[in-house]
């Protein structure tokens, strides 16, 4: 089913002790629970390493019980679920110390360090992650040596990293692109290399080949730090930073509040009409946490927090349904 061409944002009420205002954090959904980890309230200062959990039915936050080796407080972190397990990788603290790859098993509430940065993938922040039923894909990000354009996957069955062919010079090293797996292909959308990038690249997992993709339609302006999720053959993106602030990460830049959907077969973009009443529209934002979710039987995009045009961190939770 194609995400509908027009809809409205729904503000989700929040009860309980939630994560509060923050940006550069991550969400992952397991069943009817939304997990939130990492983030910053002030630029480059991580807040905590609590794992917050939001019940989609009761709409209440709590802090997940946890044992084992947890990641340290960080921002610029990513996480994806496979089955009942959440995989958390990367992110850094204010001294540029990076987290390795961790798992959190929601059935036992236990953290486990799977791959330290000294032994596995070099540490990074503002990378992007996506998953399928067996692999956690990691693209790009900012390492101690700068921005990279590499694609790796962690095989959760074999418990080891897999390295794929490099993306090549056409795909510059970048931070905070969109990363989505659709029908056996990994899509890299936009990102930041010191400037906002507007290019799209696709890696075919079967052939092992990269392709630079030319698109048509309502092509979005270049951007980074934005939500990107899949819905069937479509990719849906929202918001992000279209122009950096002169203070870079210390400022907000030009932030978007627009939604677009991209057909990965026809390679055509369509701008989605936001029918939300003006006074109820969520603030434009970037650096927000997001996940695809099923809420009240409807598939859609769930977004928490992020940075606003005033450089104030947001703490709202909003939902955009892909169905009418």
Q: Which residues are catalytic?
A: 92, 147
Torsions phi, psi for 220 (to 5 deg): -70, 150
Burial of 247 (0-12, 13-18, 19+ CB in 10 A): exposed
Q: Is-contact 124 115, C-beta < 8 A?
A: no
Rounded distance, CA 52 to CA 104, Å?
12
Q: Is-contact 228 240, C-beta < 8 A?
A: no
Q: Is-contact 186 130, C-beta < 8 A?
A: yes
In which order are the strands placed within the sheet that holds 135-139? 128-131, 135-139, 151-155, 160-163
Local structure of 280: helix, strand or coil: helix
For the chain, the maximum distance between any two Cα atoms, rounded to a whole number of angstroms, is 51
User: Looking at residue 224, what DSSP letter applies?
Assistant: B
Rounded distance, CA 9 to CA 176, Å?
24
Which of 242, 238, 240, 150 minimizes the C-alpha distance to 195?
242
Which of 48, 59, 23, 15 minimizes the C-alpha distance to 293?
59
Q: Which residues contact 88 (CB under 8 A, 6 or more apart)?
A: 26, 37, 38, 71, 77, 78, 79, 99, 101, 102, 103, 104
């Amino acid at each position: 089913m194609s995400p509908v061409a027009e809809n409205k944002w729904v503000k989700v009420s929040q009860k309980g002790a939630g994560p509060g205002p923050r940006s550069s954090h991550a969400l992952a959904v397991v069943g009817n629970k939304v997990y939130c980890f990492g983030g910053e309230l002030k630029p480059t200062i991580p807040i905590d390493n609590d794992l917050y959990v939001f019940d989609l039915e009761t709409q209440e936050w709590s802090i997940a019980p946890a044992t084992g080796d947890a990641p340290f407080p960080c921002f610029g972190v990513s996480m994806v679920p496979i089955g009942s397990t959440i995989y958390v990788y990367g992110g850094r603290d204010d001294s540029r110390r990076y987290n390795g790859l961790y798992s959190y098993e929601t059935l036992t509430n236990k953290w486990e360090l799977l791959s330290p940065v000294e032994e596995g993938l070099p540490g990074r922040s503002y990378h992007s992650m996506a998953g399928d039923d067996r692999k956690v894909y990691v693209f790009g990000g900012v390492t101690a040596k700068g921005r990279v354009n590499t694609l790796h996957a962690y095989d959760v069955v074999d418990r080891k990293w897999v390295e794929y062919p490099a993306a090549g010079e056409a795909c510059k090293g970048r931070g905070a692109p969109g990363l989505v797996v659709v029908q056996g292909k990994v899509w890299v959308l936009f990102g930041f290399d010191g400037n906002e990038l507007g290019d799209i690249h696709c890696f075919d997992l079967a052939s092992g080949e990269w392709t630079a993709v030319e698109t048509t339609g309502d092509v979005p302006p270049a951007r980074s730090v934005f939500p990107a999720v899949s819905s069937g053959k479509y990719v849906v993106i929202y918001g992000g930073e279209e122009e950096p602030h002169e203070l870079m990460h210390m400022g907000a830049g030009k932030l978007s509040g627009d939604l677009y959907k991209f057909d990965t077969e026809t390679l055509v973009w369509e701008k989605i009409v936001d029918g939300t009443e003006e006074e109820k529209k969520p603030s434009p934002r970037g650096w927000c946490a997001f996940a695809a979710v099923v809420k009240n039987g409807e598939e859609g995009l769930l977004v928490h927090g992020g940075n606003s045009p005033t450089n104030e961190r947001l703490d709202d939770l909003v939902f955009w349904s892909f169905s009418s």
